[in-house]
Amino acid sequence: MAEIDETSIDITLPDGSTHTHPAGTTGLEIAESIGAGLARDALAIKVNGEVRDLDRPVTEDAEIEILTWDDEEGKQTFWHSSAHLMAEALQTLYPDVKFTIGPPIDQGFYYDVDLGDQTLSADELEAIEEKMLELARRDAAYERHEVSKADAIEHYEAEGNEYKLELIEGLEEGEISFYEQGEFTDLCRGPHIPSTGDIKAPKLLSVAGAYWRGDESNPQLTRIYGISFPKQKLLEDFLERRRKAKERDHRKLGTELNLFTFDTEQVGPGLPMWLPKGTTLRQTLQEVLQQEQVKQGYKPVCTPHIGRLDLYRTSGHYPHYEDDQFPPMVTGEGDDGEEDGYLLKPMNCPHHVKIYQNDHHSYRDLPVRLAEFGTVYRQEQTGELGGLTRVRGFTQDDAHIFCTPAQVKDEFKSVIDLTLKVLDALGFEEFEAQISLRDPDDTEKYTGRDALWTRAEQDIREAVAETDLDAYEEPGEAAFYGPKLDFMVEDALGRAWQLGTIQVDYNLPERFELTYVDEHDERKRPVMIHRAPFGSLERFIGVLIEHCGGNFPTWLAPTQVQIIPVGDDFVDYAQEVAATLRAEDVRVEIDTSDETVGYKIREAETQKVPYMLVVGGDEEEAGTVSVRSHADGPQGTVSVQDFLDRTGPEFEPTLD
């Protein structure tokens, strides 16, 4: 390593204070200068936004942050290092294994490996865990070595690892590094934690298949998922949350509550079919949002499921969004030599643009708000599908607002208010607002002029500031046509989901040459706001099921009241009660099975029906019902009207 000039550098901490250190001071030394406790907990250092190993020297003035387990990037570094530890354990137990990639993920890590003719079952994970713990206790340092491209190639040619050689092909000289701990060496950019000894509680979770680089034409690999913690208690807490999550898994509850089904063989993976109860749930959510939209001046529209390729070329979805689309249905060649044909729509916005273009608009007409529950299609990889939360066909509560530049902030704030109403009505109390910006280092994947992007990003910042909504900025998460505000919602188990989104777009109006006539009779360009408070019905419902454990609010429950006659002689009276309730728009079912009353009650409880009304001879004679609440148990015997008077507001869907 080149000798470092012994000059002073200024280090600025997150609290804004500045401290002077010798050039070449390491992250660990900086942590020690702040406090012994911080130094013990330190996992990595962030230097001017870049996460690095703690032992790498800082050679110039910098803004730094010492990362611990409490920081998301600290966890990611910890899990990345744990993936390397798992790889070392695999190398010990399966000497012929070939390693590919092993990244951290939102909750833990995975490593894709080629085991050749060997297979790995879930039963073998415990032995790998034990080997990980044995290796971790050696307290081996993670050491970084920068190597030449030639040396890296030579290393993996000797190992016969074609996967790493393919990765090296895409790297430039001077940007290749290996990390080594114990007996394991891996091609890796890093960063890593200081030592394997920090990893106290690893847990391997599952084994799955995965294609090399996600391409089904490539070899299939074995993917091992795991997670790890610096303390055993943290692992125990995680496993308890996971147990609860399994109980609330929307795929399990969706089956038990008869909401939706999949037929991967004949219909296809990632294409849910909604059963009657699930369809009632969907329609109720749609209706409550549609009612609110009508109050706010939205106009309903309906568009086809496909469009000409030229429509998506103009919008930029084709080719900017090409990797996420199903292949086009090519019908020939156009006059310009380009392929002609149709595309399953990946987004609704180009169709809404064409509806806006169907008429001439004055500034007096604006804003124009067009809303549609429109189904779109994405070519998701099979291995990435997950129940309702990651599907290939889904319905967005999509709307597009066409407004003047002066109206953008007020319209944006109005959509924030609508989104907050939706979250509040469904009991999502914990969320973060993320301002998703363009990646300044990779502007090629976005469309439009820099000036328009700057303006759109500033619009969002100002609108968010004026609503007093706490929001953080995340570069690189913008849509290809504009920045957005994403609502990262936390469910009852503490997991974060991206649901609602609001986007400001100056680019599609320019690409489609949209206009309106201003007060001076001049043609001007409108601005588009894309918004979806639910995000998609599929993901929203999947998250909602897990958030409430299938115990929907009464107004949303597919069956709101289950009437339980104590015998066949009282079915007629049950029908009379049901008719009274249905006249008040209550969703009612009658259990006419031959089972006992106790069994019928248990079945209704399992189906999480909010109210059960038991009727027999005494109730028929008195014109009453015996009320049982799923939430609170027996509620006494009352008249049907008293029941409605007491519970009526619970049956009214509203966002107010």
Which residue numbers are catalytic? Answer: 349, 378, 396, 398, 400, 484, 530
Which amino acid, residue 43?
A: L
Q: What DSSP assignment string belongs to 458-512?
A: HHHHHHHHHTT--EEEEET-SBTTB-EEEEEEE-TTS-EEEEEEEEEESHHHHHT
| Long-range contacts (CB closer than 8 Å, 24 or more residues apart) made by 248-253 | 248/492, 248/493, 248/545, 248/546, 248/549, 248/550, 249/387, 249/546, 250/387, 250/388, 250/389, 250/541, 250/542, 250/543, 250/545, 250/546, 251/387, 251/388, 253/545, 253/546, 253/549, 253/550
| Contact call for residues 130 and 90 (beta carbons, < 8 A) | no
| Contact call for residues 281 and 426 (beta carbons, < 8 A) | no
Q: Which two tokens stand for residue 233?
A: 């208690």
The answer to the question of whether 349 is labelled as a binding residue is: yes
The answer to the question of whether 403 is labelled as a binding residue is: no
DSSP H/E element including 79: helix 72-93
| Contact call for residues 429 and 469 (beta carbons, < 8 A) | no
Give the ranges where 296-346 is alpha helix by DSSP (H): 309-315, 317-320
**Residue 383 DSSP symbol:** G
Other C-beta atoms closer than 10 Å to the C-beta of 99 total 23
Tell me the HSE value of 504 on the side-chain side, using a 13 A CA sphere. 31
The answer to the question of whether 80 is labelled as a binding residue is: no
Helix, strand or coil for residue 76? helix
Give the ranges where 271-407 is alpha helix by DSSP (H): 276-295, 309-315, 317-320, 349-357
Rounded CA-CA distance 164/186 in Å is 9
Rounded CA-CA distance 90/92 in Å is 5
Q: Per the annotation, where are the binding residues?
A: 349, 400, 530
Q: Per the annotation, where are the binding residues for Zn(2+)?
A: 349, 400, 530
